Chain A
């Protein structure tokens, strides 16, 4: 099928009234979540995952994807209006966006963020449509050894690019893989790590893990701090939304550059939307004629990072859809959703479920358009939502989590599992161990073991198969190279600090 045939198939799916309604609902919910600080897209998707069980998989994914990019967008609204990043990816937007708002240019900042995001979303969607078929065709030729090595590479790349300690992040991935072992072994039927509890025979429930680690643990950790006073900036007097010619001229090149950076970094595992916005801000500041304007309300400082984070949010779907590899925690949730709907993630999704694949992609573009059309008039609603204090919000979040996890299989056991993971997640957070790599490992664990065993069976027990198959070897070499590159400067830096200590 040609590029245009694929897209028209996608649009015919996404434009059905049913899917359009869920796309709208997803972006709206996502924006609301993004606006509220302290409630991230991973927690939200895990809360809403049970609701999607009754939908068909395409509609479910359209809804969940809408939440993801809606949240990116909503996060920037909070960043601009109250100088609080609603999402991590909008940390940079707060710098110049809030200054613009203080100068009475809140509307311009919001407008630039919206248009930049829309442009980036459009480019991102086209990139997925253009590159995904080739990539999955390539991956369809992969056997078990290649798959195993690909997962090793994916997991390593995801932790190398994430922030924080590399060793801890790898340990968290392995811990996730271990948790993925719990339950009945598919090959032998043996029960592993179930401790005689029938509720664990099918493995630890994915929703309970995600909700505990990202929902409950976040609430506990947020409760350590007092409610921050949120001073909302007024929107300014001008009635409509428009950009002056000068603003537009300053903003569009930044948006184009941001889209490029964000799109590339988004494909890389671990990158997602966050890395791109930082990189774009650095670039804009470096190439500006007068870098001192940055931090004082430079419109490029909003246009670039906002485009970058949205482009990254779109292109991070590429490895998930074509290879079945999650590049960040949100994508791990998407894979979880596919598995719950009995769709084996991987390169075959495009050929076996073309309506799901292309429908989802088309819906992303529609969702981005909806965001621009609907959200600018709704700014007032978001501002009033920002006035809900956290002390009234968190009990409602807990209720949603508790009912949500119960409804997965109508069993109270999952509430206890979620609570345990909430406690564990909070302790891990205190030990500065990021929960996202754990979730990636947890999702990939069973698939990794399956491919490891299959590869060894095919090679009659010869473990060298991972190094003699050229594609597998290359993937493993890239993974090793990534580790070395990241480990060396770190080692040098630690040594440097140690020497300084001794000298003083």
Chain B
């Protein structure tokens, strides 16, 4: 049974990234010692990262501290979705709408937020953002939906 799950996971993550980068770096060319190719530094780094990951894993496997990793999926997914939607919608829906949507959606990251408060907050933030970034600072984005 692994006690220190958190650090084992961290170690394996570094190993995974290291191996991935090392494999990819093979294609970039080694060059000569005096004129290093673009593949050398990535290979050095990824080898080092893999070794460090292994070391972290080994140390963690022998460690008896009990840890575990629990992600809070709700805020993680809601916030990511809200930001991605902002990116997708910006050019077609305009700044005012996507800001308001970002505020309203992100407020679902925690249970039990007052929906009326969300809407009011969304309108206020969207109005301020539109005034500051589009009207005052001249950010080149549409303000309103364009079809």
Contact = CB atoms under 8 A, between A and B. Distances in A.
B19 interface: no
A419 B81 CA distance: 9
B72 A224 contact: yes
B79 A219 contact: yes
Given A181-B41, A415-B86, A391 B113 contact: yes
A185 B41 CA distance: 11
Interface in B15-31: 17, 21, 24-25, 28-29, 31
B84 A461 contact: no
A345 to B, nearest CB: 20
Interface extent on B, as a size class? 35 or more
Given A177-B45, A192-B38, A219-B79, A416 B87 contact: yes
Given A188-B38, A396-B125, A174 B56 contact: no
A397 to B, nearest CB: 9
Contacts, number: 179
A102 B34 CA distance: 67
A402 B10 contact: no
Interface string A154-171: 000000000001011011
Contacts of A412: 87-88, 90-91
Interface string A132-176: 000000000000000000000000000000000101101100110
A462 to B, nearest CB: 8
A372 to B, nearest CB: 29
A457 B87 CA distance: 44
A412 B83 CA distance: 10
29 contacts: A165-B56, A168-B10, A175-B49, A178-B46, A178-B49, A181-B42, A220-B72, A223-B75, A223-B109, A224-B75, A395-B106, A396-B103, A398-B103, A399-B125, A403-B99, A403-B133, A406-B87, A406-B90, A407-B133, A412-B90, A415-B83, A416-B87, A419-B84, A423-B76, A423-B80, A430-B6, A452-B41, A457-B35, A501-B64
Interface of B: 6-7, 9-10, 13-14, 17, 21, 24-25, 28-29, 31-38, 41-42, 45-46, 48-49, 52-53, 55-56, 59, 62-64, 69-72, 75-76, 79-80, 82-84, 86-88, 90-91, 95, 99, 102-103, 106-107, 109-110, 113, 117, 121-122, 125, 129, 133, 137, 139-141
Given A193-B24, A419-B80, A422-B80, 19 more contacts: A165-B56, A167-B55, A171-B10, A181-B42, A187-B36, A192-B38, A220-B109, A223-B110, A394-B109, A398-B79, A399-B99, A413-B87, A422-B79, A423-B80, A426-B76, A449-B41, A456-B36, A459-B34, A498-B64
